[in-house]
Structure 1
Amino acid sequence: MSWRRACCVVPGSVVVAACECPVDAAKGGGCPMEGGKYVAPMQYDVYGRAIDPRNKMPPPNQEPSPGQAMPLSTSRVASTIPKGGTQETWTYPSPQMFWNSLVRKGKADGATEADMDAVVAVHNNMNELTWRKILEWEQLREGPHEPRLSRFTGRPSELSVEARLKRCFGHPPPFDRHDWIVDRGGAERRYVIDYYSDESQADTDQVPKLHDVSAVKSILVDVRPALDSVDAAIDRFLRMPRLRAQGLASPPLPFFATTQMRAASTPDDDDDVVAAKINAACAKRFAALRDCGDDGKKCADAAIALQHCVATVVCPEEAAAFQRAAISDDKDQAEQAYAAMDAALARYAAAHQPN
């Protein structure tokens, strides 16, 4: 298996360190009271191994694994991602730590120790790209505080709502998913990140430097705020398309073809009025999405309903067409109507520049 395929493969194969990027240096526990100060007790995983309570990971293991064929570097690279609650940045795992993680999880088959330098380079590069895309969204938030990554969770076996929607229309699922929690002066926002593989670009991949944006074309990163609030929905459906139209943010990943579609309706109301209308009209839709839990179909249906509700405010003709198509038995018609509504929302946002 090549270094690239060790980083970007279908679920169930060798997905490198899906749950441990970026990796923080663990600190030991011990007696709850040391020098009159409270020290958090040690926590343990299901195997009885001590773990860092901040990221639920074992302490960094820089020792060679049993049977390791060659020595690996223990050097770690500092990321440019600010760490929540500190003035530091997160630190990436070393090649030795990556190899040990693969061995520990039983995912070393098909990979070799010689792959690890390239694997770590791709891993670090993808995280830097993810953070760069998060900062684009953070432009939409106001306040004096710098965004910092507070914590993260790898969820490779769980499809996001958007990934489920795409799969319904024949798109392949992502090979990995992360949730990152970004803190800004105590105000947190959860970001959902899906990582997709484009095998048609595999032959063009190169081992990237930390901030290369085009060296690894076969991995596509889809970053957006979770629909945990109406404000996040307005960012996704209205404000971010405007930034993209101005060339101030990365374009979205391809979803539906949007050519040869008529222009969206464009109400004369300014953004604040439109946002207030969306808040009033879609509060129940937002609540349904927020409360859908782990029921994938229920969450997917709630996400479509919320998007349709926003569309009834800003592009009512496309919303009505989608509603008619949705209750028909024609799947192709429903898909086309959804694509038209999705494109109309994007065009509306692009056409309404800030005052």
Structure 2
Amino acid sequence: MAPLYPFSAIVGQSEMLLGLTVASVDPSVGGVLIFGERGTGKSTAIRALAHLLPTMKVVDGCRFNCDPAKPADLCGHACGKQGGRPKTGEIPIPVVDLPLGATEDRVVGALDLEVALSRGEKRFEPGLLARAHRGFLYIDEVNLLEDHLVDLLLDVAASGENVVEREGLSVRHPARFVLVGSGNPEEGELRPQLLDRFGLSVEVTTPKDLKDRVEVVRRREAFERDRDGFVAAWTGKEAAIRRKIVRARRLLSQIEMPDGVVQRAAEICLALGTDGLRGELILIRAARAVAALEGAKVASVDHLRRVAPMTLRHRLRRDPLDDVGASVRVERVLDECYAA
């Protein structure tokens, strides 16, 4: 496999990198939606994430990436046949691509025809959802995804389980993943139901600073000339970010969330008029993840402010009387809340 561009070598795009890192620390924040112009490093960053993340423990021989530390969540297929304490192994955290033209069978899984024809046995062939369990499911041009696949993803994302009932098969297995989507807003919008499933929404733009543009070109050219050498030069920084994520995961459950921070989150969402309480919940979780990344013991209102735009901009109702963008509306409310 050809070397991929390092995550740590990406120039600028701090909001995108922070959003992906936060989702890596705490998958419960939900997915990450990355919208922006072409050629701004969206796909590069997501694919680079696969090589940055640490490994994870799985039940040895399980095709569904089951977690041996959670017996109640074991799939009951290869896991259930081992008996007693299952054997374990380690694999890289999966980052699975879901192509726009993928069939439903490829996504959810289907009957293994080769086994059925050669042995006369009914055997389930896991799909992309099984491979993505406990990892990341990436959809490029997510705003162009076909409606029937959108409906399927919504069902699985809500339940955390994939259920397949077809061709005499009855299979269910855990399917919990971080949904990552990228796209160009000029090519269409997402359905509101799918948009709401993304915990974070980050915006990427073409760099306006001359030095940044020059540095992007310089690094990309160096990478294309000598991929192995370029990747080797960034190994230290990649390892440092990996250690930071591992430490943050360990600290996450210990981070205190003061009542004042929770109240500020509610004030911000109330002022913006977001629907439901998902905005507050994701805002608090993202702030806690940032605190863990920084090694803080207590989440603060400053952590809250840093993640508020990416947490809330896609949750705003359209206001026909306000011609400013969602990001401006969020920043305006933040200025008012933090000035009070």
| TM-score (structure 2 length as normaliser) | 0.24
Higher normalized helix content (fraction of residues)? 2
Which structure has more relative contact order (CA 8 Å, sep 6+)? It is 2
| TM-score (structure 1 length as normaliser) | 0.23
Larger radius of gyration: 1
